[in-house]
Structure 1
């Protein structure tokens, strides 16, 4: 490993010592008011995976059937509710915005959280070793979901599949795309090769063993299962504190989940030059201008981010970048989330048109 690779590994390990959250146990299907239902409606789908059990997610679509779907993978700090936030959906729901733009979305629960109760197997998490849930295993499961979407085993066949991730979910997406080469584009959020270890280390107090934190205590979580505890500095680290709506923070706390520490060691490889250099489809990286956790000091503007990230990608990636002003790591939950939605929609229309 080169000295540059070693530095990148250290950066990811430090930040990855950050990423975890959302509500364990069965999460009921989300209910919508008439005025904020994605145009074509939503349904819960379960896709069997070879490692056992199902990966479960919320599939939403526009009124007119589309051949394009985005597969959404949240970070350690969230389950599928991150993409369809249950507070002020008109402002924060990525799935609602994409449906209105004509795209289908499938927001997945990573193994071990949301409706995917056990590490891929679907069993009670406390009865499963956390080592069963790694970023590589997550990527394999996402690959099988992509194949199911392409072959019509969900609702119908999709000809174009785009992966979208946040934080560790972006790492899983990088591992999937660089290994299986079966998607048409990638959206990476809360992700870069420029993580700042000292800043990441400051966030370590936000994370605690799931067995020590309500409502997860007493549910059988052994060593290796963690969750996010909302400390006094949480909002400053994960959002842009001066702008974040306190109700957003409260809702994020109400929907927090658990994660396996085993996702981190192989997840760190997603920020090394190798995996991203093997991606051969268009890539859009978006970041919050105030995201010191996932973006270090390279997110002053879109041009600076592009200059920092371009060396890690092949020309085939046609790399584009966008820095969202006054947003932190959880950029979809910034008050100006609609600006990010519009950037993604424009990129989708230009990159994977119907």
Structure 2
């Protein structure tokens, strides 16, 4: 696997006259670049490290092993990317930044080959951003939506109250987060996002020590990702992936106990695509990738992708 760090520059229409620098890592398999790249979009209070958990839990390594290129992106205001004023970093500005990144992946740029196909793989808020982007711009070839449903679970209302200023956090304070950048209170990640029997203390520690930020602007615009019109406008194949022990989503008419329940419930939202599938990961909560069972969804997702958007497309 070859990896290079790349910077991408986007011009958000929400902040006229400005340019934001986004940091990413491009991973390529050996040999000629493949036809398809996976764009990885982390969720709220995460950065690209979510996709590179230790050992077999490293999604990036798995995807490259299946022959795909991977761009693991730090979304605006997270990780090593630029941290604009918090009020400018909203769900909508994330969507437009991701759209410009997709355009670069299709055209190519210095250090980045041009790809025929782009697949977005999101987690939680990252999944919502990918959905809106796909609905609005119709420039993705498939979506893998993890940790996101249109039904909220019993812990969802506790997620935002679990946040506090990142500048007060012992781990993040040295990075000088701007005003109204938030992160999870110490220990709250475990309570909200983990299933302890499905992970050891070393994974919980990794999870806590790789936390990132969310802005007040994102928090105030989260509802946009649940608009039924968004999922209805998606025209490409969609795979939904949920942890069986996720308590942020599910409840009421849908249970995350089995894929059939997820598919039955969500099908009424994804009316614009005839190719919708679901997968439930055992012994995993909301933050799927830090649980020991995560590789099972990596394998199944790549079997699903291979039948729709393979890493290399046969030439005529």
TM-score normalized by structure 2?
0.90
Q: Which residue of 1 aligns with 2:52?
A: 84
**Number of equivalent positions:** 301
Cα deviation, residue 316, structure 1: 2.2
Give SS of 2:37's match: strand
Q: Which residue of 2 aligns with 1:243?
A: 198
Q: 1:302 to 1:223 in 2, by over 3 A?
A: same
d(CA) in 2 for partners of 1:161, 1:301: 29
d(CA) in 2 for partners of 1:141, 1:311: 29
Within 5 A, what are the aligned runs for 1:43-192?
43-51=4-12, 52-64=19-31, 65-85=33-53, 87-88=54-55, 91-119=56-84, 128=85, 130-153=86-109, 154-192=111-149
Which residues of structure 1 form unaligned runs of 5+? 1-38, 120-127
Q: Which residue of 2 aligns with 1:34?
A: none
Q: 1:218 to 1:105 in 2, by over 3 A?
A: closer
d(CA) in 1 for partners of 2:65, 2:174: 42
TM-score normalized by structure 1?
0.81
d(CA) in 2 for partners of 1:200, 1:133: 22
Which residues of structure 2 form unaligned runs of 5+? 13-18
d(CA) in 2 for partners of 1:132, 1:332: 29
2:91–2:221 contact (8 Å) kept in structure 1: yes
Q: Output the aligned Cα RMSD.
A: 1.7
Q: 1:347 to 1:218 in 2, by over 3 A?
A: closer
Q: In the TM superposition, what whole-angstrom CA distance separates every residue of 1:97-117 from its partner, at most 9, and x where no partner exists? A: 000001111010011111103
Cα deviation, residue 311, structure 1: 0.2
d(CA) in 2 for partners of 1:167, 1:289: 15
User: Are residues 1:287 and 2:242 paired?
Assistant: yes
Give SS of 1:312's match: coil
Cα deviation, residue 192, structure 1: 0.4
Cα deviation, residue 221, structure 1: 4.1
**Aligned pair partner of 1:351 in 285, 308, 312:** 308
